[in-house]
Structure 1
Amino acid sequence: MDESKQGILLETGTNELEIIVFEVGTSLFGINVLKVREIIPAQTITPIPNSHRHIEGIIRLREEVITVVNLTDVLGFEPANNLNDDKFIIAELNQLKVAFRVQDVSRIHRISWQDIRKPNELAQNIETAATGVVKVEDDMILLVDFEKIIVDINPERSISVHQVKQLGERERNNKKIIVAEDSAILRKLIGDTLKEAGYDQVQFFEDGQALWEFLYNKKEDESLFDDLQLVITDIEMPKMDGHHLTRRIKDDEILQQLPVVIFSSLITEDLFYKGKGVGADAQISKPQIVDLIKVIDQLVL
């Protein structure tokens, strides 16, 4: 294994993340470093006729054509005066590369998922909700829900119940699954899709900490493994991330026999080593729900 992969493994499961803080309009926002491929000065854009209102157009970066999304537009701020000073954050999520236009980028901060709080209900009613908020020094940083931005622009990038139909007729299954997923929208989509696939017994938790506490409190119950067959977890969640949750399950002498599937938009070639390092039984990239169901079928036999 090369040195970069070793570094990834050494930092696995610490329940910490690094965020890049950037400026849009008059506010500060953050993005998980794991989503960022590079940051470049704003480039000349080729417009796309009849595209979504938040899409500025496309750029050619080396051998790739990448769509540019204007975060000033998405987040409802007034257009910047001098676009030449803007930056493009080249991000990869849901197996898609996107350039997000921002005004400025500052330094990287290392924080704990324990320090991230969910926005209150009022804040979550904005068009593009934040996944969390964290105080860094004297600043409040909103972590943008980039996955929601992509799905709002292109709904085909989301999980769909209709995808399950390609699996054909399926019988009802009494196996119980528990899921850690912080997005209310995705909890509903995953629940509806698993139900369509025959898995009716699904219980959801809003973050890894809540799921871990549930398991920890039940692990001495002799009937635990009769009632529960599988754990599915996202990676990015307040309080406890999916890698840390997986490591705690797999380090526990009793709970380690539970299969754990990581289902996240962050499954890239490099990050696959993180999931493997904490003992995940499988890793599936959102929104590949059919692949997730096939893996569940194998693991709950």
Structure 2
Amino acid sequence: MSGVLASVDQRTKLVGENRLELLMFQLGTRHTFAINVFKVKEVTGVPTMNQMPGSHQNLNGVTIYRGHTIPIIDLRQAIKMRAGAATYKPENVIITEYNRSVQGFLIGNVMSIVNTSWQDIQPPPKSIGKANYLTAITQINIEGKKEIVEIIDVEKVLADIIEYDTSISENILDRDVVSQFSGRKVLIVDDSGTARKQMRDVLEQLGLKIIECTNGGEALALLKDWADLGKNITDELLLMFTDAEMPEMDGYRLTAEIRDDSRLSSLFIALNTSLSGSFNEAMVRKVGCDRLISKFQPDMLVDVVQQRMRELL
């Protein structure tokens, strides 16, 4: 099953070009689901698992992966698919790395990997409500037929299982700097409502005002509208946190577009991503981000905003 995944070098070439690869799979129905290949470490058969008494209902158990114990999550149950497919039995496990943690997701049939553009990926309709577990939707040509592919919000799936702590360590706070935050605004750009809420819950403790956008295209339009009105971007915003992977326009392209616009180029930009590794650091330097932090680290968020505030004092 490891042959399903191309080399890491080949996949990383897509990042920064507003493109991505999706691993498509099914969960016992005709629906096609997907996650970004860049988050996938391996696809394997269903391993031997030990159930843990008192564990979360979405956890099937734990297994040993490359010398480490990892949780195995029943993805069908986690996204609250309706009852049905009584004969469904998981066939594979996707081993993923999100937010500096490794976990496996039980899935059904692995279909294929497709190369596509973030421009062709759209947010889910607002009419489906906030309780859904989708971060985006796209259409892919499968066997000569256009099929809807639903991209899963893995951060929301994990947040249902892991209780994220949004408290700030007292020793990280610089009270002289924090006293300057009143009235200052921070722009958060992320397609995951869960990720935006986690960041908002941290930054609002500092007295900061939060503006939210759900993708790079929406954020760029907002910033350009302000510039067209003659607003000074550094007067409007203390800084911007952006995710890397988003529908329509990813965080790398968003950063590059901002740096190419003289009216916006002075904006302080921090890439806040669940991706990790030396490649991501190279992309940050290439497009001109000021900071790179991995999700979800409240103290690091605070460190970034304090750093930016010190530069302005």
TM category (shorter chain) comes to 0.7 to 0.9
Change (3 A) 1:6 1:56: closer
Asked whether the equivalents of residues 177 and 229 of structure 1 are also in contact (C-alpha less than 8 Å), the reply is yes
Indicate the residue corresponding to 2:4 in structure 1. Answer: none
Alignment of 1:65-104 (within 5 A): 65-75=69-79, 76=81, 77-78=83-84, 81=87, 83=89, 86-104=91-109
Greater Cα offset, 251-260 or 43-52: 251-260
Change in 2 beyond 3 A, CA 1:66/1:296: same
Q: Is 1:21 paired with 2:24? A: yes
Seen in structure 2, the aligned counterparts of structure 1 residues 56 and 166 have a Cα distance that, compared at 3 Å, is farther
- Give unmatched runs, 5+ long, in structure 1: none
Query: Given residue 15 of structure 1, which amino acid in structure 2 is its aligned partner?
Result: N
Q: Offset of 1:224 from its aligned partner?
A: 3.2
Measured after TM superposition, the shift of residue 250 of structure 1 is 2.2
Asked whether 1:130 is paired with 2:134, we answer: yes
Deviations 1:144-200 (A, max 9, x none): 1111111101123xx61x235554554241433222122334334322321212323
In structure 1, the residue matched to 2:116 is 111
Partner of 1:228: 237
Rate the CA distance shift 1:66–1:113 in 2: closer, same or farther, 3 A: same
- Kindly indicate whether the alpha-carbon contact (under 8 Å) linking 1:164 and 1:196 is maintained by their aligned counterparts in 2: no
Q: Tell me which amino acid in the other structure corresponds to 1:207.
A: N
Whichever residue aligns with residue 212 of structure 1, its letter is L
Which of 135, 157, 163 aligns to 2:168? It is: 163
Q: Which of the numbers 120, 126, 129 marks the counterpart of 1:121?
A: 126
Shift of 1:273: 2.6
- Aligned partner of 2:68 among 64, 67, 80: 64
Q: What fraction of aligned residue pairs are identical, expressed as a percent?
A: 28
**What are the Cα deviations for residues 7-52 of structure 1, in whole angstroms up to 9, with x where unaligned?**
6775442211110001112021000011101111111111111111
**Which string of whole-angstrom CA distances, capped at 9 and with x for unpartnered residues, describes residues 70-124 of structure 1?**
11222335466474x6111000001100110101112111122222222223434
Within the candidate set 190, 210, 227, 1:219 is matched to: 227
Equivalent residue letter for 1:153? I
| 1:31 match | 35
SS in 2 for 1:177: strand
Q: CA deviation at 1:68?
A: 0.4
What residue number does 2:52 align with? 48
Match of 1:242 among 206, 227, 251: 251
1:264 to 261, 273, 296: 273
Partner of 1:196: 205
CA distance in 1 between partners of 2:307 and 2:87 (Å): 55
Distance (Å, rounded) in 2 between the aligned partners of 1:125 and 1:10: 33
- Tell me which moved more, 164-173 or 238-247: 164-173
Please, what TM-score do these two structures have when normalized by structure 2? Answer: 0.84
Between Structure 1 and Structure 2, how many residues are aligned? Answer: 292
SS of residue in 1 equivalent to 2:126: coil
3-state secondary structure, aligned to 1:267 = coil
C-alpha distance 252-121 of structure 1, shift in aligned 2 (>3 A)? closer
The farther-off stretch of 211-220 and 105-114 is 211-220
Structure 1 stretches of 4+ with a deviation exceeding 6 A read none
| SS across alignment from 2:32 | strand
Q: Is the 8 A contact 1:20 1:107 kept in 2?
A: yes
Matched-pair contact (CA < 8 Å) for 2:233–2:263: no
TM-score normalised by L of structure 1 = 0.87
> Residues 56 and 6 (structure 1 numbering): CA distance in 2 closer, same or farther, change over 3 Å?
closer
CA RMSD, 1 decimal: 2.5
Determine if contact 2:270/2:291 at 8 Å carries over to the other structure: yes
